[in-house]
Structure 1
Amino acid sequence: MEKYLREWRQDAVNKHQYDTAIFVADKLLALTGDDQDTYWLAQVHFSTGNYNRAQTFLGRGNLIERNPQCRYLAAHCSIKLGNTDDALSILGEKNPTHLISAPGSARQKLRHVDVNLRRHHKTASRSERQPTSEERDKEDVNHLKYEAGMCYLRGLCYATQNSFDRAKECYKTAVQIDVQCFEAFDALMTNSLMSPAEEWKFLESLNFDTITVASNSSLSQEAAQFTKTLYTTRLSKYAKPDEFANAAETLSTHYNLGDNPDIVLANADLKFTQCRFQDALALTSSVLAKDKYNFSVLPVHLATLHELGQKNALFLLAHDLVEKHPLEPCSFLAIGIYYLSIGRIAEARRYFSKASMMDPHFGPAWIGFAHTFAAEGEHDQAISAYSTAARLFQGTHLPQLFLGMQNLQLNNLSLAHEYLNTAYELCENDPLLLNEMGVVYYHEDQLHDAINMFRRALVISETNEADPDAWLPTRTNLGHALRRNNQLDEALATFESVLRHGTKDAGIFTAKGLVLLELGRSWEAVIALHEALAVTPQDPTATDLLNRALDINESEAAFLGPEKSVLDNDAGGASVSDEEVEELDRRIGGRLREIQQNRVAGRGGRRGRRHAGAGLGEEDLSAFGESMVVDSDG
């Protein structure tokens, strides 16, 4: 009869006929009084959302204290009810770190299990048969998995209390005890709780050899390597892109997972990080064509649409999401990004705020919320919002990067340098970060360092095969730094390479004209400055320089040595002050759209992660706004 009732109960659960399952499980428990039957009855109540009733059954017979399964489920019920303090009292505050198995060690997890759990385990069946060694081993493995699950729940409680360091340690312990506890691993990656270097180091610390498959050693080894490869695709895309590419290639070729949404998302996240927006959009669109409401892919997809300026697609997608999924934070994220794209900043801020309130750990919403203040030039409020994001997502460099950009706008060069250095310690290979560090060096008159930073940013972007238009501001910045460092020929070549991309910006034509004047090529300078005025007829800098160039050309004083600037030789012989030179430098910089990346600890990529993360990202939303060339604008 017991066997019959258990099969009936399981069949009802499989068909989601929970009333039937409760009816049968209640009779089975009355018949046997077994701990496992009590646990399964509580499990069915948990599945139906009856968390209080589930806890009532688990509280019988001191089950919570002596059975890890019941303790785990009781704590989970408390978390679902919002009682994190009660959950922590059930779980205890100390992680069972003695259960951690180091990589390369023997399979010793069974040795660490508390055998007292078996000693007190109640078996009320009619037969008194002792369990076999295989049954005991299986039971011990289950105990380990529930201990790991309880570490994960501890982490959830601490994260709710904004104790992120303790949450991070709980998540790490959960994965170290049971490497298959993916939810804990995903919490670490999505919330960007570790830096890119820490993530890779943590992956190497995990003992994948604890994975077993049906007593088949060769298959167990393959499963261990397969799991490690899967986890590799979840790590930051900044630190080791080659390792990520190898992992994705292995999963695609050997296991036919090339079209799997998680693998496609990882590839899209990488493309977005590299500013290859068209490629990223093609990948995310392929996933959404099969799974329209994949909320892991949507943050990267939305950010890519924004970067490419596809406002109509954003509008349609946001409208559909909020109609079909009004309780999803990502739906309101989509509305916020659409409003940001059309310049309605107040509405964008309201919807970003709503998304962050629905999920306080949703990285893209926090970053988007901060961007709305930056877009309006509200630097103090933007700094406050970015600081909150930096506290929530400690492992991603993006909030620190944005904090540096905001302080740069306020001319707080020392603070900007500090934040950017912090970001650099987390990630050394982000071209946008290198560009901003070059801007700070430029304003500090450390022109050699500025030039090196701009060149490194361009080399990395070319290696990543980024969209050429994405890094025109960096190339323009390099031209200005070269000009001020008196490397005039190279500066001229740099400005011409920017103009060859089809850029029509008065500031760049003006900068080219200034370099030509300094080179003594006054007639060519006149042509370049006329082109600047053709774009912006009332540009005061171009007008002033054009008058000077015409005067020089008329007076047959066209030749000026590299060591003698035209700014010190106007037609009247009067010198120009340093303040006027700085003002000209500022005004020469035409406004170009600057690509700014985000992968969110929280992304749906890392993201959150990206999204950070990203994500942003890792770890992903993008930062928004325009940038004064050389003078960065967050």
Structure 2
Amino acid sequence: MEKFLRDWRQDALNKAQYDSAIFIGDKLLAMTKDDHDAFWLAQVHFAAGNFTRAHALLAKQDLIASNSSCRYLAAHCLIKQSHFSDALALLGEHTPTHLFTSNPKRKIGRSNARAAPGRLSSKTPSHGDDSAAEESSNRRYEASMCYLRGLCYAKQNAFDRAKEAYKDALRIDVQCFEAFSQLVKNSLMSPDEEDEFMQSLDFGFIKAPGDDPDVEDEPADYVQYLYQTQLSKYRNPRAFNTAIESLSTHYGLEHNADIMLARADLLYTQCRFRDALSITDQILEDDKYNFAVYPVHLACLYELRKVNVLFLIAHELADTHPDEPCTWLAVGIYYFLTGKIADARRYFSKASMMDANFGPAWIGFAHTFAAEGEHDQAVTAYSTAARLFTGTHLPQVFLGMQNHAMNNMTAAEEFLKTAYSLCKTDPLLLNEMGIVLYHQDRLKDAAKMFTQALRIADEMDSDPVAWLGARTNLGHAYRRLRLHDEALEEFDQVLRDGGKDAAVFCAKGLIYLDKGEADEAARVLHEALAIHPQDPIATELLNKALDESASADIGLPPDGGGGGLDAEFDRFEQELGERKFAAKLRLETKARGKAAATAAVAKDKGKSAAKPGRWDAGGPDYNKRRAGGVMEMSDDE
């Protein structure tokens, strides 16, 4: 009868018929008074969502302190009820470091255990197998309790302790994917730290069942490949490509949603938005409610300005899944793209309140303040994101951008340096560092940063169009360094990759003026005005180029002879003297007296001093126009 009831209970549990499983499990426990039956009844209550009842049953049977499995289940019940302090008190803060698989003593013990069965009697191996199975089970529960401890720390905003607890879980049991997912999904480790931690894990602890030595190490490689696809795409692309190729060709995972999403994430970091979108479209066509895909999918739609598609997705998700944070992320992105910043902020905030660890919602919320020029509030929002997601460099990059916008160059440089310590291979970050250095007049360092950004973008096989800004900035840095040929080469490359741009033609015209080639400057400035006829910078530079060209055409060539520029200056001085003498005669004949004449002169001088000159009146506005145009024109001509 006991076996019959246990099979019935398990069958009902497998079918999610929780009422039947609870009914039968209760009768079974009343008959047997067995701890295992009590534990399984608590499991059924947990699966049914009766967390309080499950915890009370474990406490009534005095099972919480008996073994790790019951303690894990009780703590999990408390966490589901949001009693994080009580759960942490139950779990304790002690980490079982003796269970770390990287410990050499554990490896020696395992090797001895393999050699021992040959010397034991025929009954002993069965007992040894049971002990090994029980030890493995306890190890897994200990790792899971480390994972639960990390959840409690995260809810208490102790993210450093949460990260260590998750890492301890993986050190004990490398197959504890929940802990690995929390580390990666919440960006708790930097790309370099992820790579170092992966190398420290003992994947060799995973063995295939059986005695075939040729396949016993295969699961270790398989799990390592799976984990590698989930890591940051800014670090170690060779390992990522190897993992993807192996999983796709050897194990048939080419069309698996997680593998395809990893590819799309890589393409997104390369700014190849159309390619990434085609992959996410395939995933959602097969399973349109795979919410892990939506952050990358929505970001690609935003970059490609697909307003109608965003509207349809946001509308459908709001109807079918109003309890998902991704739903309100989609609504926020739609409003942000259409320029309704206040509505976007409201829905980004709603998504972040539904899931406090939802990074895209926090970044979108901060972007709304930046879009409106509310730099102080944007800094506060980005700082919150940086505190929540300590392993990603993006909040620090955005903080540097905001301080740059407020002209706080020192603070901007510090934030960007912090971001650089987290990730050294993001072209966006290197470009921003170069811009700050440029405005600090550290032109050689700025040129190095721009060059490094373009080199890494090329190594990543990134879309060249996405980095036209960095190439333009490099051209400006070369221009101010008087490396005219290099600057012209960069600007020509920008024009080839990105089409016509009036600002780039203005920059080329400025270079030709600096080289004394007024005719060539006039030609390219005419091209700028053909693109943007009202461009004030191009208009003013063209006037200057035409004046210089006309001045060069008047008079003799500047060959240093007597009829050259010196003769021209002599004629100018002579004409000026004649005009002064004529003016003096007119004043003398019209004078009413020396005192009156002096007063009149003084009065005229006062009027002329009060009247602004052309450059006094136009200078600041001109500089402002230049600063609003292209980056280089905020400094000097």
TM-score in terms of structure 2 length: 0.85
CA distance in 2, matches of 1:296, 1:242: 24
Distance of 1:509 and 1:489 partners within structure 2: 15
Corresponding residue for 2:176?
Answer: 181
Letter in 2 for 1:15: K
Whole-angstrom distance in 2 between the partners of 1:419 and 1:557: 53
What's the CA shift for 1:215?
Answer: 3.7
Q: Counterpart amino acid of 2:224? A: K
Tell me the CA shift for residue 441 of structure 1.
Answer: 1.1
Letter in 2 for 1:52: T
Matches of 1:13 and 1:583, distance apart in 2? 77
Equivalent residue for 1:162, pick from 130, 140, 157: 157
Pick one of 540, 543, 550 that aligns with 1:547. Answer: 543
Residue 283 (structure 2) aligned to one of 266, 287, 295: 287
Deviation at 1:8, TM superposition (A): 0.9
**Aligned in 2, Cα 1:220/1:401: closer, same or farther, shift over 3 Å?**
same
Tell me how far 1:585 sits from its aligned partner. Answer: 8.9
Report what 1:99 is aligned to: 99
Give matches, 1:589-628, under 5 Å: 590=629
Q: 1:341 aligns with which of 325, 337, 340?
A: 337
Match of 2:140 in 1: 145
Q: Deviations over 1:353-375 (max 9, x none)?
A: 00000000000100111111111
1:107–1:209 Cα contact (<8 Å) kept: no
Deviations 1:330-375 (A, max 9, x none): 0000111111111111111111100000000000100111111111
Contact 2:234 2:423 in 1 (8 A): yes
Work out whether 1:309 is the aligned partner of 2:305: yes
AA in 1 matched with 2:76: H
Structure 2 counterpart of 1:376: 372
1:621 maps to which residue? none
1:488-503 pair list within 5 angstroms:
488-503=484-499
Contact 2:273 2:300 in 1 (8 A): yes
> How far off is 1:105 after superposition?
6.6
Change (3 A) 1:176 1:90: same
Following the alignment from structure 1 to structure 2, what is the Cα–Cα distance between the partners of residues 342 and 545?
36
Report deviation, 1:526.
Answer: 1.6
Alpha carbons of 1:496 and 1:221: their partners in 2 closer, same or farther (altered >3 Å)?
Answer: same
CA deviation map 1:375-404 (0-9, x unaligned): 111111111111111111111111111111
Query: In the alignment, residue 58 of structure 2 is paired with which amino acid?
Result: L
Note closer, same or farther for the CA distance 1:251–1:333 as it changes in structure 2 (3 Å cut): same
Structure 1 partner of 2:249: 253
The corresponding residue for 1:59 is: 59
Distance 1:454 1:194 in 2: 27
* Residue in 2 that maps onto 1:202: 197
Q: Distance in 1 between matches of 2:157 and 2:106?
A: 37
Instruction: Judge conservation of contact 2:146–2:169 (CA < 8 Å) in 1.
Output: yes
Provide the rounded CA distance (Å) in 1 between the counterparts of 2:619 and 2:450: 25
Residue 485 (structure 1) aligned with residue 481 (structure 2):
yes
Aligned to 1:243: 239
Tell me which residue corresponds to 2:435. 439
Match of 2:418 among 406, 416, 422: 422
1:72-87 superposed matches below 5 A: 72-87=72-87
Preserved contact between residue 477 and residue 632 of structure 2 (Cα < 8 Å): no
Q: CA offsets per residue over residues 495-519 of structure 1, 9 Å max, x none? A: 2221223434332221121112112
Shift of residue 4 of structure 1? Answer: 1.2
The 1:131/1:242 distance shift into structure 2, 3 A limit, reads: closer
- Greater shift in the superposed pair: 520-529 or 471-480: 520-529
Residue 33 of structure 2 corresponds to which residue in structure 1?
Answer: 33
2: CA distance between counterparts of 1:391 and 1:586?
38
Q: Mapping of 1:266-277 within 5 angstroms?
A: 266-277=262-273
Structure 1 range deviating more: 359-368 or 133-142? 133-142
Instruction: Measure the CA separation in 2 of the matches of 1:452 and 1:585.
Output: 28
| Matches of 2:623 and 2:478, distance apart in 1 | 16
SS of residue matched to 1:132: helix
- CA separation of 1:223 and 1:363: change in aligned 2, threshold 3 A: same
The aligned amino acid for 1:98 is H
Which one of 511, 515, 520 corresponds to residue 519 of structure 1? 515
* SS across alignment from 1:555: helix
Identify which of structures 1 and 2 has the higher relative contact order when contacts are C-alpha pairs closer than 8 Å and 6+ apart.
1
User: Secondary structure of 1:296's match?
Assistant: coil
* Change in 2 beyond 3 A, CA 1:201/1:438: same
How far apart, CA to CA, are the structure 2 residues paired with 1:630 and 1:436?
17
1:539-576 per-residue CA deviation (whole Å, 9 max, x = no partner) reads 2222111111111111226999xxxxxxxxxxx9x998
* Structure 1: gaps spanning 5 or more residues: 112-128, 561-571, 592-627
Q: Is the 8 A contact 1:508 1:588 kept in 2?
A: no
Aligned residue in 1 for 2:127: 132
Question: 1:72: how far off?
Answer: 0.7
Shift of 1:218: 3.9
Contact 2:187-2:392 within 8 A present in 1 as well: yes
Matches within 5 A, 1:344-423: 344-423=340-419
Cα distance in 2 for residues equivalent to 1:552 and 1:630: 20
Shift of 1:104: 7.1
SS in 2 for 1:236: coil
Given that 1:191 and 1:393 are in contact with CA atoms closer than 8 Å, whether structure 2 keeps it comes out as: yes
- Which segments of 5 or more consecutive residues in structure 2 lack a partner in the other structure? 112-123, 559-571, 573-612
Note the alpha carbon deviations across 1:290-342, whole angstroms, 9 max, x for none: 01111111101110111111111111111111111100000000111111111
Distance 1:109 1:408, change over 3 A: farther
Residue aligned with 2:65, SS: helix
Counterpart Cα distance in 1 of 2:434 and 2:624: 16
| Letter paired with 1:140 | E
Q: Which has the larger Rg?
A: 2
Q: Is the 8 A contact 2:465 2:498 kept in 1?
A: no
Give the SS at the match of 1:9.
helix
Partner of 1:7: 7
Q: Which moved more, 1:210-219 or 1:548-557?
A: 210-219
Name which of 609, 622, 626 aligns with 1:587.
626
Over 3 Å counting, the alpha-carbon distance change for 1:483 and 1:30 in structure 2 is same
What amino acid does structure 2 have at the position aligned with 1:148?
A
- Cα pair 1:29 1:38 within 8 Å, conserved: yes
1:477 touches 1:630 (CA, 8 Å); kept in 2? no
Preserved contact between residue 333 and residue 365 of structure 1 (Cα < 8 Å): yes
Pair 21,131 (structure 1): closer, same or farther in 2 beyond 3 Å: farther
1:126-155 deviations in Å (ceiling 9; x for gaps): xxx998221121111111111111110011
2-structure distance, mates of 1:535, 1:339: 31
Deviation digits for residues 21-79 of structure 1 (CA, Å, limit 9, x no counterpart): 11111111111111111111011111111111111111123200112111111111111
Cα separation, partners in 2 of 1:582 and 1:512, compared to 1, 3 Å: farther
TM-aligned CA distance change 1:629 to 1:18, over 3 Å? farther
- Whole-angstrom distance in 2 between the partners of 1:227 and 1:190: 18
- In structure 1, the partner of 2:603 is none
Amino acid at match of 2:300: T
The question of whether the paired residues in 1 share the 8 Å contact of 2:208 and 2:218 is answered with no
Offset, 1:285: 1.2
1:18 to 2:57 alignment:
no
Shift of residue 209 of structure 1? 2.2
On the 8 A contact 1:352/1:369 being kept in 2, the answer is: yes
> TM-score, structure 1 length as denominator?
0.85
Call closer, same or farther: CA 1:557–1:588 in 2, change over 3 Å.
farther
Is residue 468–residue 498 contact of structure 2 (8 Å, CA) maintained in 1?
Answer: no
Please state how far the C-alpha of 1:193 moved relative to its aligned partner: 0.8
Aligned residues: 566
Question: Which residue number in structure 2 is paired with residue 68 of structure 1?
Answer: 68
Distance 1:404 1:630, change over 3 A: farther
Say which SS state the counterpart of residue 64 (structure 2) adopts. helix
How far 1:171 sits from its partner (Å)?
0.5
In structure 2, give the amino acid aligned to 1:432: L
Structure 2 distance, partners of 1:547, 1:103, is: 77
